[in-house]
Chains A and B, each alone.
Chain A
Amino acid sequence: MKHLLSAAALAALAGFALPGGVTKAEAAECIAPADPGGGWDFTCRTVGRLLTEEGILDAPVQVVNMPGGVGAVAYARVMNSESDNPDLVVATSTVGITQIAQGKYPAGTDAMRWLAMLGADVGVVLVAADSPYNTLDDLFAAMKENVGSVVTSGSTAAGGWDHIRLLMLAQAAGMGPEEFTKIRWVQFDGGTPAVTQMMGGQTQVVVTDLGEIAGFVESGDVKVLAAMSDEPIPAFPDLPTAKSQGYDVTGYNWRGFYTGGKVSDEAYDKWVSNLETLFNSEAWKEAAEANGLIPIWRGGKEFNDYVVEQASQMEAISREIGVIK
């Protein structure tokens, strides 16, 4: 730890002393605030690999896994000791913003500089292939009649992004907060376990990101009641959107990066432009689509504003549906 800190301090000092050194972003580091294998780990490893393969950075990006508190541990670490490290980026997503909005991180969005998002996963509402429900209306009609008759599930805890997406749809269907608490919600350790347990008849509905479970949609093991995107998803144009069924709700899970709050404008801009170059490459489009992501770009100040706004929206939603007081 000591060594790492002093190394980071040295790197930071070098950055100040030699302005040219910053732009080269030598030995850049990407923190994946989770164990190997999750979405944040994928973001760091894929983007890190492509940054070198595409010749945008000279030295390979070192990926560091720092799990804990759904990203809170990495957030605290960057805030406390690496807030001016120009060579460090951290992977994050809508899930992290949800945590920030609900006060589960050590600070708000203003503690970091938000770099860019490179793509987004789309939330989907799934039922088993032989389910009696064929549309969102079918599902919510049944839930309104008897809220306890349907067991819903996803990959986050109650109050997490999957649960909130379900409640946003329920709200659009005309259900109220007093009914929200009666909706049965089961948490699984990921989208795939949730889907297989639904196929085994343990639950009836899954709300989660499409990317991880796309194979089950292709194989026909599950039926998609709604995709929570503005437009039909390019890889799955036949899936009905929630909007096309009169539910004005979207539920993306974007993937992107932040860096320390005290990083210089110069280093910040360099990262944004590097990431934008990567976003425009064919290699990224392929990698993103292979993992079920829709390539979407928001970068720099536009992205920073977007994150701040999303956090305040999320806080309002969480309050409205009773997840936070």
Chain B
Amino acid sequence: METLTFLAAGFQVALTPTNLALALFGCFAGTIIGSLPGLGPVNGVAILIPLAFSLRLDPTSALIMLSAVYYGAMYGGRISSIMLNIPGDEPAIMTTLDGYPMARKGKAAEALAISGVASFIGATFATVGLTLFAPLLAKAAIYFGPADYFALYVLAFATIGGISGANPIKTLLAACLGLMIGTVGLDPATGTARYTLGSFNLYDGFDPIVAIVGLFAISEVLILFEMHVAGSEPIKRLGRVIPRWSDLKPGFGASLRGSVVGFIAGILPGAGASLGAVMSYSVEKRISNKDDTFGKGDPRGVAAPEAGNNAASGGALIPMLTLGVPGSGTTAVMLAMLVSLNIQPGPLLFQNQPEIVWGLIASLYIANFVLLALNIPMIGIFTRILSLPQWSLMPFVVMVSFLGIYSISHSSFDLLVMVGFGLLGYLLRKLDVSLVPVVLGLLLGADMENNLRRALSISDGSFAILVQSPISIGLYIVTILLLATAAVMSLRDRKRRPAGSEVHTLEE
């Protein structure tokens, strides 16, 4: 009951005309920023912090505007995933797998609507979870040690083979490539430079967002060039502009499952939205892929990761607010924002400044509804992007990619890296290797290694620590069960389908 009283007070703070207008503006700006390749929630919040200061907003209003931008950008990230096969930010990468095929089939409006509703469900689920259980969950998250994180990443990687493409060997190779790219840079445990060729620019390794924009956006342009020269530009179908209610239905179950999985991943500090999206997608595929429709435009393959990444980013606010530990790159920026408003997140925030916390939580509820209301009518605008001829759209995409990447690091070196990744992406596409596992290897590999190194530092080099905690043992058991069922299922599959009918090998 006490919680509800606090929340009501929070709504009182948030529901003033000024604050509502700020929330609306924040949601709109966030959606636009999130939909541009290379620009995500991190940039959105970072770009608008100075604006909040120059408008001399009081802390609560600033917080409301910036959290609206944060949620808006999470929503927006999926738009270019679906429309252009170019993820707007890291967590949106899983949405390309089924979202883009849907758009190719003329179902762009449905995909956008489903992802909008799924985002709403995921974010709302996380906000409710945050309201009810924040302090409790934060206490539990503390007991997740480096060895447990490592086991969690092992589980995530074990499912990658089944994520995309028909050929699991190529998928695993692509993930390995990503892991290898991820080893470049300063070794976090000792500060030793690895594969940096003596260049300071490589000390921090390759930024996943630079890799994503290069692999997806730049390679897309190269492919387009080639098709243009060969005279075989793809035919696009626009389909309907306003989705029907019945089109949305298949996504609901997937959204709920994705929300639960994503929320759990989000609570664990450090794992964050990308892992949430990956896990939600692989869980959903495991449950629902009975007719082998995933990867070919299954609406559930859009709903699950979108609900997952939004639930995860809401969940990530729990360790940030209660412990001061940022759960992801984006919450790190939120943390910076709070600190620059002279609010110190940590164990005492809920006691010392309840009006701030509950004002923020109330503004998250508001942002969710505003985003849903804003996004459904905007679908018509976004689907018209598809009707633009490619030769006029792609130069714009390239320009935005360059601007977006440059705005992150102000380094021309990163632009060269992006082009390099573009060439790599082109090559991989020609070899029919999926790009998603490459990015996942790079994105998750670094954290996986860091936690392995930490675990081994704690145990003084003994690998026994990896299987000493109940949490890690539990996670390994789940991993083994997953791999075993996959093997059994694919064997059954082969018996059912006589050899030669279709090449469909081991799922893992």
Contact = CB atoms under 8 A, between A and B. Distances in A.
B222 interface: no
Contact of B145 (A66, A156, A197): A197
Contacts of B186: 69-70, 157
A214 B324 CA distance: 11
A65 B409 contact: yes
A104 B344 CA distance: 32
Interface string B296-335: 0000000000000000000000010001111001001101
A247 to B, nearest CB: 25
Interface stretch (B74-82, B120-128, B346-354, B367-375): B346-354
B203 A36 contact: no
Interface string A71-96: 01101100000000000000000000
Contact of B340 (A4, A46, A157): A46
B347 A193 contact: no
Interface in A205-246: 212-216, 218-219, 221
Contact of A36 (B42, B146, B411): B42
A196 B142 contact: yes
Contacts of A300: none
Contact of B454 (A186, A212, A291): A186
Given A42-B336, A157-B190, A202-B146, A184 B344 contact: no
Contact of A219 (B191, B336, B347): B347
Contacts of A303: none
B297 to A, nearest CB: 36
B478 interface: no
Contact of B458 (A46, A72, A151): A151
B409 A36 contact: no
A291 B143 CA distance: 27
A75 B203 CA distance: 13
A148 interface: yes
Contact of B411 (A66, A75, A218): A66
A259 interface: no
Given A42-B336, A189-B270, A65 B410 contact: yes
A202 B191 contact: no
A192 B144 CA distance: 14
A182 B326 CA distance: 31
B144 A66 contact: no
Contact of B344 (A41, A202, A290): A290
Interface string A60-72: 1001111111101
Given A158-B190, A184-B458, A72 B200 contact: yes
Interface stretch (B49-57, B99-107, B238-246, B429-437): B49-57
B144 A200 contact: yes
A27 interface: no
Contacts of B191: 104, 156-160
Given A158-B191, A189-B270, A201 B143 contact: yes
Contacts of A72: 200, 203
- From A188, A202, A213, residue with most partner B Cβ within 10 Å: A202
Secondary structure call for the B interface: helix
B502 interface: no
Contact of A218 (B324, B348, B415): B348
Contact of A291 (B42, B269, B325, B339): B339
Contact of B270 (A1, A41, A193): A193
Contacts, number: 156
B457 interface: yes
A73 B458 contact: no
Given A68-B200, A73-B203, A218-B348, A186 B336 contact: no
Contacts of B201: 68-69, 73
Contacts of A151: 457-458
B377 interface: no
Contacts of A156: 191
A75 B186 CA distance: 17
Contacts of A219: 346-348
A203 B203 contact: no
Contact of B412 (A1, A63, A75, A189): A1
Contacts of B415: 1
Contacts of B143: 200-201
Contacts of A76: 200
A42 B450 CA distance: 26
Nearest to B345: A215
A166 to B, nearest CB: 14
B446 to A, nearest CB: 11
B108 to A, nearest CB: 33
A200 B144 CA distance: 7
A216 B345 CA distance: 10
Interface string B143-160: 111100000000000000
A215 B344 contact: yes
Contacts of B326: 37, 190
A72 B200 CA distance: 6
A73 B200 CA distance: 6
Nearest to B346: A215
Contacts of B336: 36-38, 41-42, 45
Contacts of A184: 457-458, 460
Given A60-B50, A214-B344, A215-B344, A159 B190 contact: yes
Contact of A67 (B145, B409, B412, B457): B409
B493 interface: no
B70 to A, nearest CB: 13
A285 B231 CA distance: 67
B484 interface: no
A298 interface: no
A38 B188 CA distance: 16
B335 A37 contact: yes
A177 interface: no
29 contacts: A1-B411, A1-B412, A35-B332, A36-B45, A37-B336, A45-B49, A45-B340, A63-B50, A65-B409, A66-B410, A66-B411, A67-B204, A68-B200, A69-B201, A73-B411, A157-B191, A158-B189, A184-B460, A187-B188, A192-B323, A192-B325, A193-B325, A200-B144, A200-B145, A203-B458, A212-B324, A219-B347, A286-B342, A290-B344
What are the 10 closest A-B residue pairs judged by CB atoms, nearest first? A215-B346, A69-B203, A1-B412, A37-B336, A157-B191, A200-B142, A219-B347, A202-B145, A37-B332, A72-B200
Interface of A: 1, 4, 35-38, 41-42, 45-46, 49, 60, 63-70, 72-73, 75-76, 104, 106, 148, 151, 156-160, 184-190, 192-193, 196-197, 199-203, 212-216, 218-219, 221, 286-287, 290-291
